Structure formats: C-alpha cells, structure tokens
Amino acid sequence: MLKPIGEGNSRLARSDWLGGRKKPPLLRTRELGYGVLERLGFGNRAPEATGLPGAMLSEVLLVSAPGKVILHGEHAVVHGKVALAVALNLRTFLRLQPHSNGRVGLNLPNIGVRRAWDVASLQLLDTSFLGHGDSAALTAKHVEKLKEVVGFPKDCVDPEHLAVLAFLYLYLSICQSQRALPSLDITVWSELPTGAGLGSSAAYSVCLAAALLTACEEIPNPLKDGEAAGRWTEENLELINKWAFQGERVIHGNPSGVDNAVSTWGGALRYQQGKISSLKRPPVLKILLINTKVPRSTKVLVANVRSRLLKELIDMNQHHLNALGVGHASLDQLCQVTTAHGLHSKLTGAGGGGCGITLLRPDVERPEVEATKRALSGYGFDCWETSVGAPGVSVHTAASLDASVQQGLDSL
C-alpha cells in the first residue's frame, strides 16, 4: 500500500485540487521515484509548477539540436586565429520515454545500435570515480575506467561503442542524483550524416544532456501549453553545454568545445583561442550542403597545415585552403560545378574531402538551384538544401515534428 500524501497523512482528493479548496501537495520525483508517481497517475513527473494534475508535462520528451558548419577559419583557428561557426538546420532528434519496467534502452537507428540494460545491474556499478554531479571532472583515465566498469574493450574506438559509452556516462552521472536510476527508453535519429565534420556527435551529446537533465528535474521543461517548441534559459543552456562537452570528451578525447556550443545556443559563434562568443542577430543564410563522401582524417590534415607554416571572399577562402594542402579533387569538382551555375562554394571543416557549402544568394532563381543540385548529384555527391543560423537545442511537441522525423524515431 502507498502511504497517503498530505499533512497528517490524510488523503487529498483530486477533486479538492481542481476545486481549489485545498492546497495540493508538493511532489518531487527525487523523493517518490518514477514508479510511485506512475502508480499515482502523474506519469513520470510531479505537477510542481502549479500543483494541478493537468499541468504536468507529457511523459514523452522530444528534444532536437542542430549540427554545425564552419564558415571561415577551419584551420586558422588551430593557430590562434578566429573561426566562425554557425548552426546548421539539419538536426538530431531525441525521444525519451520513461517507464517502470526496470530497464533502460538506447536506440540509434542511424548507426544500427540497439542496447538495453537492467537498471538494477547499472545501480550496482561502482561509478564513484565519476564524481558527484561535477560536469568538469572527466579525464581520459575516467573514460578508460568507464569502459572497464561497463565491460567494453579497452581499445574500442569505433563510433558505435563511443556513442553508447557517451550515453552511459551521461545517464550514470546526471541521474545519480536520483534515489534510484530511472527506467527509460531513448531513441536518437539524425538528419546529419556521421563522420562528415557537421557536428553530429555534438548534437547527439547536447540532446542527451538536455533530455536527461530535464527528466531528472535538474532543469525545468520549458515547453508551455499551446506552444510547438520551447527553449531553455541561458542558465540552463550553460548546464546543458557543460554536460554535452563531457559527452564530446568521451567520444573525441580533446574537443575544442565549439561544436557542442553551437548545437546548444544555435545561431553563429566566434571562436578564438578557447574563447567562444555569440554573434548578435546572425543572418539566416540559405545554402546547399554537399557531402563529397570522400573520407578524411582531421588529425592528419591539421598536422599537414602546421608543417607548412615554419575573397569574392568565399572563393578566396577556398583558394587559400587549397594552398594549405587541405583541398581535394572532389572539392575542386564541387566548386567547378557551382561556379558554372553562378554560385560560390568552399569546403567546411577539415577538408581533404568531406563536405562543402554553397551560398544561395536571395536573388538566385529556383531553376538554377535545382539544376545545380542535379549536377552535383550526377557526380555522386549527396546534397541538402538547408540554412545556417538555426536555433539551438529545443524541446518539441509530437505534433510539431515532421512525418519524416517521426518515422526516423520509430525505426528500430
């Protein structure tokens, strides 16, 4: 039997709440646990905002975060110069579904990952080395210890293992404030290609951090009645970004922090020597994003530029990058195709293949855009018509998501 809630252990009927005759009790998930709240009929959250059962948030949490492109400075930034990074309106979407089956599941349909764990088994793991809510404490030794604790090979560096490891780190770290780890299923689906230098891992980490912090009531759900989407406050975004950066550390080791910052705040960011600042009122620019599908190593390309060191502006920038040795025949072909249609392109990211962007000026006619896309596809390139300057991490209603996103989240 559940003990009655309220002063003097007397029951407080919902009719009393709704009629305003008595003040509703303040229920906290941390105090009662998810299972108790579900049995009480509150879903996975207590009605803390107003005390009314109808004001509680939906059991399902839907979060999205954008990718990123580097407009200028992708290699100069390594040598202390300014880089300009902008949020790409291709997004990663996460659905968090709380339940009470004693399991936690992770589904990543883009990379074919589907894993599940018993909460009771995870609860028994010695995770004291992770600290207590300290999002700045992660080191390489912690990552290696986490691999050992969860039974991963010491030398695992493939994207699938690292994505799962980042999830487990954030889940175990953020949710340790709960009396018991929560049962939930998380599915993450992305419009972003992986391994293309578009910040897909950062968008993944930002979505995980935002969803888990919200589910554990470390930050409130900002979605208001009647709104299709909501954004967190600046203070809450700072916390999301700190935890997302730790997820990026699990995946990349020593990231700059630019990708997760762009994915958190959106818009455009200026980055120089470790300092990140937002640009006020960045323009929303339409672009073509082209993936040459040529694999490249960021580490090798950055090292090559360093060894060589003892703009129309977009065109000039691309020529400079070629001179630094980070161009590629596929990127040259991309630029030739778009130039033939009166457009201007450059690589984005490390270069050596990967992706390029083409600026779509407001005066470009629709037939010219379509012809350019067909020509690029003819060379085997993937092409997206999108924009930069997109909003950062957001929470959504299910009805506001496109059918393609819903289908992606439903694919297992």
Q: Please tell me the distance from the alpha carbon of residue 236 to that of residue 47, in angstroms, as a whole number.
A: 20
Q: How far apart are CA 366 and CA 387, in angstroms?
A: 15
DSSP symbol at 177: G
* Residue 137 CB neighbour total at 10 angstroms: 13
Contact (Cβ atoms closer than 8 angstroms) between residue 98 and residue 177:
no
100 noted as active-site residue? no
d(CA 313, CA 319): 10
CB 287 within 8 A of CB 358: yes
Catalytic residue among 64, 201, 345, 394: 201
Side chain identity, residue 374: R
Tokens in use for 352?
A: 């050596």
Q: Rounded distance, CA 221 to CA 101, Å? A: 24
Q: Tell the residue number behind the tokens 């200028």, with chain if given.
A: 72
CB of 249 closer than 8 Å to CB of 135: no
Is 259 a known active-site residue? yes
Tokens 């960011």 map to which residue?
269
Question: How far apart are alpha carbons 408 and 39 in whole angstroms?
Answer: 31
Among the listed residues 173, 259, 263, 330, the single catalytic one is: 259
In one-letter notation, the amino acid at residue 377 is S
Tokens of 273: 């020597």
Active site residues: 201, 259
